[in-house]
Amino acid sequence: MNHNKHLLGANRVAILVFIILLFSAFAAVKDDLFLISKNLDIFSAVYRQISINYVDETDPDKLIKTAVDAMLDGLDPYTEYVQEADIDDYKLKYVDTRYGGIGTTTFNRDHRVYIAELYPGYPADRAGLQVGDELVRIDGNSLENKSTTVISQLLRGVEHSEVRLQIKRPQGDTLLELSITREAIRQPNVSHIALLDGGVGYIKLDKFLERSATEVEAAVTDLQKQGKLKGLVIDLRNNGGGILQEAVRVVNLFVPPGELVVSQRGKNTTKANSYRTTVKAVAPEIPLAVLINQHSASAAEIVAGALQDLDRAVVVGERSFGKGLVQQTFHIPYNNLVKVTVAKYYTPSGRCIQALDFAHRDDNGDYTHVSDSMIKAFNTKRGRVVYDGSGIHPDITVKKKAYSPVTKTLLHHHLIFDYATTFKQTHRQIPGPESFEVSETQYADFIRFLEDKDYPYFSKTETSLRQLKALAEAERKPDDILQELTMLEHQLSDSKQRDLFNHREELKAVLGNEIISRYYYGKGRTTFSFKHDGQLQRARALLTLATDEYYSILAGEGKYNEIGRPETFLAVAEAAN
């Protein structure tokens, strides 16, 4: 009897505790709802007073966008408000690869607009437009001082509609007018497929938008039909990501069903989810290398991280960007959208590779990196040690060599672009991208082309010398020291012409890449770059010449057991900035 009374009392206490917790939860929700309602009332009142009483006319849409953008700026750069007028551009960037247009890209230079690239076979190409042409007017609209975003909007439109262009040829004053009918332009996710020397396949995947996995599967099938593959390189460099589910499907092409690819967790428990491979892989055994760099992010990191954690591929290149966040798009009133970061994602080993801490900023207002003390170790399927908090670290690091100051300057001033345009006007055809190289005669012609061009720049030595001279002047060093520094400054300036000789091989490669694009478009540019691509060559050699190394890495033998030690993270992050 006493036992029953004790049990009844315990039950009453438990019920009472439950009621208290339920009431507390309800009260907390009620408080949150009150605060939301209160602040919306305040915002609405401020907006009304500004709209009615401000001294000048205001644009209601602009006011709201400014206010919302300011609110979201305190969160992270991926949470954004999309107005109805911008939805088509948003879909092209994040969802679909198809739009109505003529098939060009443009760039601004001295407040004018020039064609940077043509897509082969599309309306602009068929109409005879050329890279280097200046766009003067679109449908009667002057383009002077117009941004590339505005230009893009003017060129795009409904399929089968006409756009009237006024263009000026390079080194000509005559204005040409033509009408071009817009077509459906589809930019593929897979931009290049090739069978390299040694029987290694190559697939360049630029983004993870709709049908990206289908395109990769078709590329793999196509390469397999060409013969037995010794290996496959998936190039995810400069791939900014896209749709998470497409990344899962790409991994599933190389991994059997039932394997965890990625999981996501957020404050809202309904956003928690795990994604596994579900169908039979099309290439489960073929040796696989994945190329990444500092601009590989989001879905690209999910693929690279999953294949690394599952010990299915060797990752080659440079540390990735480090975006471990998941966004979801919500419809809001009047056909607007808001894209919200709803969760963090985790690779199969359990690591989140988010590199920036958006909850904290430094004294300059910049986001801080995840501290070394917070970085944790995880294990791949075969026991290799990997780390979270700083992107995906490659199994084999191959740094891309930075361009010299003279090359950067010539690119910045579009002088390499200009020479390629001039070259195309005087050379009807050239060898294919596999064999074309800039000859010594052509390089000498390029040097002559630069003789009357103004392209000031400072080498690293000059920059250091200028800083030293400024410090000497601030410390009031003797005049003879200042004079010697000035003389040395002049001597360094006179030596700039020698930079064109000292960096000739680098410049010939960059120049050749630009020239080849005039004849063989973007695919030709990619093919030409293969012979100068150290990261790709390292991956190809791994899959053909050093297969023992490939399997040793995946087995975690010796130095390959640990990838990306924490003490190296800060140095890598500083170098990236």
Catalytic residue IDs = 298, 323
Planar angle of CA 377, 275, 215, nearest 5 degrees: 110
In Å, how far are 309, 392, 474 from 131, measured between CA atoms? 44, 37, 49
In Å, how far are 43, 322, 346, 380, 382 from 391, measured between CA atoms? 39, 4, 11, 15, 20
How many Å is the maximal CA-CA distance in the chain?
Answer: 108
For the chain, give percent helix, strand, coil, nearest 5.
45, 20, 35
d(CA 392, CA 384): 14
d(CA 138, CA 83): 24
Cβ-in-10-Å burial (0-12, 13-18, 19+) of 450 comes to middle
Of 295, 507, 494, the residue nearest 404 (C-alpha): 507
d(CA 244, CA 547): 31
Cβ-in-10-Å burial (0-12, 13-18, 19+) of 300 comes to buried
The secondary structure element, H or E, covering residue 337 is: strand 336-346
Please report, as a single letter, which amino acid is at residue 56: D
* N-term to C-term CA, the chain: 75
**CB atoms closer than 10 angstroms to residue 456:** 8
d(CA 49, CA 52): 5
d(CA 163, CA 400): 41
Let me know how long the chain is. 577
Please report, as a single letter, which amino acid is at residue 351: R
Q: Which residues contact 206 (CB under 8 A, 6 or more apart)?
A: 188, 189, 190, 191, 238, 239
Give buried/exposed letters for 344-359 (b at 16+ CB in 10 A, else e). bbbbbbebbbbbbebe
